[in-house]
């Protein structure tokens, strides 16, 4: 309960980075506006639902979340699932918005259960592939608006129509886009210290559009207060409601934490995963009440914020305040911003996001890391982020398990000559030497897991003749259930062949697991010894009695 209470506390807003947070929040709001409207329409809930989803999720995720520079709002993956929700409950919008509220409740529960920390276990090649893939997506998806055409829904679509659009571009839009690119790349540093280059580029391009009529602009935004929604639970469809809410919560959580990793990589900070989940949950809970669609950490908006100077939660609050001001009547101030200008700014963001640090080292990276990075990159660009990260983590885990299994297998030794090992004192080594033809001394060290379990049983399938098996676990701090059952099989084979079995020095953790699994109960004649000397002494007594 203390963890939940701590994570539910709102962030303390600081004004130490006021200038950067102000410009970052304003820039993010301008970038977020067309995206929020488009996602709202795509979800089936309407443009205003997209706008208020961006306002609520952005505000409360900033106030309660664990990633100071992150900007949250409706995203592509969340919108796709949301569209299914609003289609399923088309005649009952109150139930659809209740699903959004339940999504937030699930995310708060995820934060309380501390599930966010597992995303931090992601290996760097996966993060690198994800970052570079996001950068490539940003660049490719903005080529159409740069040419004066509507943005395509996917990278594949954008690449398929690009050749024909290149033959007949809107030159007004191209000029505006190039002006934006030149501005963000080449504006003098003293000027950009006063006003960030992305915001200045948008201002210059908006002024240019006044004389260059013909470049597509954002246009009017919906205005007015939201229609507040009260939660409605229908027991007839409760199962479907919970399933949709759980899917949205899981999707939004992963999306947000991946964006948090991107923000960390750029700002050189560390986010609080569990608090971020709570913040996203509070945001989606509020979005449901306000009649908004659910959201998550938004990579494009977060990167726009960071590159414009945003560093603290204040930037997220300003982003939401800006969108709220637009919704309450200030829409005409941004209506003339050209899409090509946004495209130019976002192309620069995409170039900066690409992980050039890893790319410069690709020729020196291990082959497995290189392949992993390229696989994640390709899947991010041509499939989707969730699939890319999921496949990347699975592949990285398999590589890790293989390497660890090889190390664990190398730590499984059969000791035949006691003189060449530091395991025995002189007296014990002498006694072992006298009876070694009748002893099988199996020494294990380090943690033993499922990766080495099969090799453990395989090695003892065809061992030589012996009368006493000694299994030395003094240097084993941990075994998993697979390794414990493999040890049981080794002991059972020895017992079935009328061999004596002695186990040396189980730690408390090992003994607890083997006791819980009933391993020793299966081999009732097993003797337990605390030291190797005791084990050799018991083995000698066995041999002398026979």
Give the Cα-Cα-Cα angle 77, 78, 82 (nearest 5 degrees). Answer: 120
Tell me the whole-structure pTM to 2 decimals.
0.73
Q: Is the dihedral of CA 375, 376, 381, 382 positive or negative?
A: positive
Sequential pLDDT tens for the chain (546 residues): 555 566 667 788 888 889 999 999 999 998 888 888 878 877 888 889 999 999 999 999 999 999 999 999 998 778 878 888 998 888 888 999 999 999 999 999 999 988 887 776 778 898 889 888 888 988 998 899 999 998 887 888 889 999 999 999 999 999 999 999 999 888 888 887 778 788 888 888 888 887 777 888 888 778 888 888 999 988 889 999 999 999 899 889 988 998 998 898 888 888 899 999 999 999 999 999 999 999 999 988 998 899 888 999 999 999 999 999 999 988 787 888 888 988 888 888 888 888 898 999 988 889 999 999 999 999 988 987 778 888 988 898 888 888 888 888 887 887 877 766 678 888 888 888 888 888 888 888 888 888 788 777 776 766 667 888 888 999 899 899 988 898 888 888 888 888 888 999 888 888 888 888 888 776 667 888 889 889 989 898 888 876
Q: Class of the 411-545 domain? A: alpha beta
Q: Are 86 and 44 in contact (CB under 8 A)?
A: yes
Q: For the CA atoms of 418, 419, 424, 425, what is the dihedral angle to 10 degrees?
A: 140
For CATH 3.30.750.24, list the domain ranges present in the chain. 411-545
**Tokens standing for 528?**
């337990």
Report the C-alpha gap between 75 and 189 in whole angstroms: 33
Give the Cα-Cα-Cα angle 249, 253, 255 (nearest 5 degrees). Answer: 120
Distances (CA, A) of 348 to 126, 128, 217, 303, 381: 23, 18, 20, 10, 18
Report the C-alpha gap between 231 and 289 in whole angstroms: 8
Question: Cβ–Cβ contacts within 10 Å for residue 393, how many?
Answer: 18
């Amino acid at each position: 309960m203390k963890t939940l209470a701590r994570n539910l506390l709102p962030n303390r807003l600081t004004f130490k980075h006021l200038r950067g947070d102000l410009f970052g929040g304003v820039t993010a709001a301008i970038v977020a506006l067309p995206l929020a409207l488009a996602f709202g329409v795509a979800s089936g809930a309407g443009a205003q639902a997209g706008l208020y989803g961006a306002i609520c999720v952005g505000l409360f995720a900033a106030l309660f979340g664990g990633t100071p520079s992150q900007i949250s709002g409706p995203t592509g993956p969340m919108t796709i699932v949301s569209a299914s929700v609003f289609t399923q409950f088309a005649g009952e919008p109150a139930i659809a918005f209740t699903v959004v509220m339940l999504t937030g409740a699930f995310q708060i529960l995820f934060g309380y259960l501390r599930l966010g920390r597992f995303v931090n276990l992601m290996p760097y090649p996966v993060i690198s592939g994800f970052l570079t893939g996001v950068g490539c997506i940003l660049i490719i998806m903005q080529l159409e608006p740069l040419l004066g055409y509507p943005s395509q829904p996917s990278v594949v679509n954008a690449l398929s129509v690009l050749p024909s659009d290149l033959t007949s571009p809107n030159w007004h839009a191209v000029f505006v886009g190039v002006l934006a690119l030149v501005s963000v790349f080449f504006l003098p540093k003293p000027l950009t210290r006063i006003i960030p280059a992305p915001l200045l580029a948008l201002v210059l391009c908006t002024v240019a559009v006044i004389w260059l009529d013909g470049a597509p602009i954002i246009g009017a935004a919906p205005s007015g207060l939201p229609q507040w929604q009260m939660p409605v639970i229908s027991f007839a469809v409760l199962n479907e409601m919970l399933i949709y809410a759980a899917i949205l919560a899981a999707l939004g959580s992963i999306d947000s934490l991946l964006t948090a990793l991107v923000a960390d990589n750029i700002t050189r900070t560390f986010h609080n995963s569990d608090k971020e989940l709570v913040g996203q949950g509070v945001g989606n809970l509020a979005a449901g009440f306000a009649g908004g669609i659910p959201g998550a950490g938004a990579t494009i908006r977060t990167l726009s914020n960071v590159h414009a100077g945003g560093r603290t939660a204040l930037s997220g609050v300003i982003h939401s305040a800006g969108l709220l001001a637009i919704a309450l009547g200030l829409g005409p101030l941004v209506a003339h911003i050209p899409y090509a200008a946004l495209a130019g700014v976002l192309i620069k963001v995409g170039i900066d996001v690409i992980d050039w640090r890893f790319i410069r080292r690709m020729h020196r990276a291990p082959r497995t890391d290189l392949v992993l990075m390229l696989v994640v990159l390709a899947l991010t660009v041509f499939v989707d982020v969730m699939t890319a990260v999921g496949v990347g983590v699975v592949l990285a885990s398999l590589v890790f398990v293989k390497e660890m299994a090889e190390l664990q297998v190398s730590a499984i030794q059969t000791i035949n000559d006691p003189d060449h090992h530091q395991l025995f004192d002189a007296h014990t080594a002498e006694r072992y030497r006298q009876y070694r033809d009748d002893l099988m001394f199996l020494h294990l060290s380090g943690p033993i897991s499922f990766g080495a379990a099969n090799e453990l049983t395989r090695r003892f399938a065809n061992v030589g003749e012996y009368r006493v098996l000694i299994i030395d676990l003094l240097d084993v701090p941990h075994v998993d259930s697979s390794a414990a059952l493999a040890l049981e099989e080794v002991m059972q084979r020895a017992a079935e062949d009328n061999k004596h079995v002695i186990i040396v020095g189980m730690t408390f953790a090992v003994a607890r697991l083997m006791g819980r699994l009933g391993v020793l109960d299966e081999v009732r004649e097993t003797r337990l010894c605390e030291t190797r000397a005791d084990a050799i002494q018991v083995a000698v007594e066995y041999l002398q009695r026979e």
